[in-house]
Structure 1
C-alpha cells in the first residue's frame, strides 16, 4: 500500500519488482538470438539494406561509430625546445647523408 504522498508504507510486501538478474538474462538471450541470426543472414542482409535503403544503412554505420573522436593535431606536443632542436638537427643530418650517398652513387656510374 501507498501513503497519500505516493511513498510505500513500511512493511509493504506487495510490490517486489522484477526478479534479480531477469534483465541480464533477457539481454543475453536476445544477443544470442541476434548473433545466431546475424551469422546465418548477416552479410546478405547488410548488402540488401545498402541497396534497398541506403539511408538506413548509413544510420547503422553512424550508430556504431564512436560519438567523439579525439584528434591530436600536434605530434610534437609535449616536447621541449631542446628536444625539438635535436630532432631538427638529426633530420638535417640524415638528409645531408642521403644527398651525399646519392652524389657518391652518381660519381661511380
Structure 2
C-alpha cells in the first residue's frame, strides 16, 4: 500500500473497502431483526412486568411528538375536565423534559 510522505494512504491505495461499512451495518441490522422476530414478544412482556416505567418510555419514544386533535371530542369536555387534562399534559411534559440547570 502506497503512502504519502505524511503517512496517509494515497488516494485509491488503502483504507476501508468502499461499501464495507454499509455491508456491516446491514448485517448487524439483519441479525437484530432475526433475533427480534424470535424473542421480541417475550422481551416486551418482561419489560412490561419487571419495569413498567421503562415500558411506557419505550412506547412514548415510538409515538409521534405532536398529535393533531381534529376530532378528539374536546368540545364535549367540561371546564373541570379540560383543566384536569391540561394539568396531566403539563405534568407529563415536565417529567419528560430535563429541568433547567440539570442538563
Query: Where on the TM-score scale, by shorter chain, does this alignment land: which range?
Result: 0.3 to 0.5
Return the index of the structure with the highest Cα Rg: 1
TM-score of the superposition, structure 2-length normalised? 0.48
- Which structure has more relative contact order (CA 8 Å, sep 6+)? It is 2
